Amino acid sequence: MSKYEQKDIFSEVTYQSYLSQTYLLPPGVCNLLNPAAIYANNEISLRDVEIYGFDYDYTLAQYSNLLHSMIFNTARDLLIEQYKYPEGLKKYDYLPGFAIRGLHYDVQKSLLMKIDAFHYVQLGTAYRGLKPVPDEEVIELYGGTQHIPLYQMSDFYGKGPSIKQFMDIFSLPEMTLLSSVIDYFINHGIEFDQVHLYKDISDAIKDVHVKGMMYKWIEKDMEKYILHGDETYAVLNRLVNLNKKLFLITNSPFSFVDKGMKHMVGKNWRDLFDMVIVQADKPTFFTDRRKPFRKLDDKGSLQWDKINKLEKGKIYKQGNLFDFLRLTGWRGSKVLYFGDHLYSDLADLMLRHGWRTGAIVPELEPEIRIINTEQYMHSLTWQQALTGLLERMQVDAESKQVLLEWMQERQEIRSLTKNLFNPQFGSIFRTFHNPTYFSRRLIRFSDIYMASISCLLNYDVNFTFFPRRTPLQHEAPLWMDQLCTAKILTHTA
C-alpha cells in the first residue's frame, strides 16, 4: 500500500472508527481501577511501619458537601454586613460543581486557572468570575505564552504573593465565592482593586473558621455533616489491636475534635492514641522550633507545666515537631502520617524528616468511577490513536488537510473528555495530556494516596505497596498510540 492510498483509507475510516471503536478495547478493560484501592508513588511496606499518625479534618473526619454551602453563604453574608459589599451578592449561591482543588489564582489578573506540572496554563480552564477567558487573551496576559513563572510569583506552600494555589478541600467554597463576587462586579460595571477584593474574601472565609462558626455547625448536627464515622473507628481499632502506636496532630481545637471523635469512635477515643496534639499550627509546627508544647486538662483548659515528656492519654496544644521527635524518638520510615493537605500536612515530613506519608484525596473515588466508564475509555483510546497517526503522517506533505482534520477532532475529543470530570476545569489529576501541578505535588510529597483512610481496611498490615513501572517516553517505542494505530490498520486492511 502506498502512502497516498494509506492516507485515503485513514481519512475515510476516521469517523466510522470513532463511532464503532469497541474493537480497540480488550474485553474487561473498563472497571480495571478500584476506587477503594491504595495507590503507591514510592515502594513502602506496612510491615516496617510501627507508628501511624493522622490529621483530623478530611482525614479522620470526612465531611458532607453541605458544609461547603454553609461556608460560602456565611462568608458571603460577612462580606455584605461587615465589609459593606453590595446586597446584590445575596443572589449568588454555592455552585458545587464549579471549582476543583489544586487551581491557581492570579491576584493581579483576577484569573482562576489550572496549571500543569510544567507550569503551563491548560487553555480553556482560565476563568475571570464565572466566565471563561478566551485562550488568546490568556496568552497575551502572560506575554505571549501559556507559561507561568511560579517560582517568581508564589512561594513553596503556594501562598503567593502574586499567585495563590488552592490546595485545601475547604478552599472550594472560597474559590466559588471569589469567582461569584468578581462576576457580580464585572456584570455591574463596578471597578475594584484586585488585591483588596482577594484579601477581603480570604479574610471572610478565614473568619468562618477562626471564629468557630464552622465548628458550631458541625457540633450541632454531626449526623448531617460527618460521614463514615464507623469506618474511622474500624481503622483505628484495627491498628491498636495490631499493637501499632497512634497519634493525632491537627490544627483544630480540642473541644471540636473531642466531640467529633466521640461521635465517630466513642467516649473513650483517647485511649486509642498515644499522643494527641491540637491547634498545632501546621505547617509551621514542622519547621519552627520556637513554640513549646502546652498541656490541656480534660476540659481543654491550659496548664502551666513545663513539658518534659509526652504522655499517653494527655492532650497537648501547639508545640513543634523537633520537640516531638526528641521526646518520642519516633523518627524515619517507621512513622506513616496521613493528611489531606499536601503542603501543610505532608511536604515537610517527606522532605525534611523522612517520615512516610499518605495523602487522603477524596476526589480519587469519583474520578476513578469516571475513568472506568466505556465513554472515557473510548475517548482516551481514540485520542491516543489520533496522536500516533498525527505523529507518523506529519512527514507527508500530501496529508496536510487530513492532519488538520485530525488535529481538530483530537481537540474536540480532549475537550469532551475534560468535561466528563468537570466542565470548567476537568480532572484534578490531569490537564489534556500532562499531569496537573497538583499531581506533581501529590507524587512528590506522598508515598501512597487513597480516597479515605478506610482503604487501609482492604490490606493486610504487612502488605507492601509497589508502584507500577510506567514507561518513560524513551522507554516506550510500542506504547498505546502505536498499538491503537496498528489495530486501526489491521481493521481497515
| 369-378 CB contacts, 8 Å cutoff, 24+ apart | 369/35, 370/420, 370/421, 371/33, 372/30, 372/31, 372/32, 372/33, 373/30, 373/420, 374/22, 374/25, 374/30, 375/420, 376/417, 376/420, 377/25, 377/29, 377/30, 378/18, 378/21, 378/22, 378/24, 378/25
Grid cell for residue 428: 484534578
Q: Answer for the pair 250, 317: CB distance below 8 angstroms, yes or no.
A: no
Q: Looking at 48, 55, 155, 323, which residue is catalytic?
A: 55
Nearest by Cα to 90 from 7, 13, 174, 177: 177
Grid cell for residue 249: 496532630
Strands 121-128 and 448-450: unpaired
User: In DSSP terms, which residues pair with 456 in a beta bridge?
Assistant: none
55 marked as binding residue:
yes
Q: Is 55 a catalytic residue?
A: yes
340 marked as binding residue:
yes
460 marked as binding residue:
no
Query: How would DSSP label each residue in 124-175?
Result: EEEEETTEEPPHHHHHHHTTS-SB--HHHHB-TTSB-BSEEE--STTHHHHH
Amino acid at 290: R
Q: Is 203 a catalytic residue?
A: no
Q: Looking at 57, 116, 345, 348, which residue is catalytic?
A: 57
Nearest by Cα to 311 from 257, 277, 274, 269: 274
Q: Which residues are annotated as a binding site?
A: 55, 57, 340
Residue numbers annotated as active site: 55, 57
Q: Which residues are annotated as a binding site for GMP?
A: 57
Q: Which residues are annotated as a binding site for Mg(2+)?
A: 55, 340
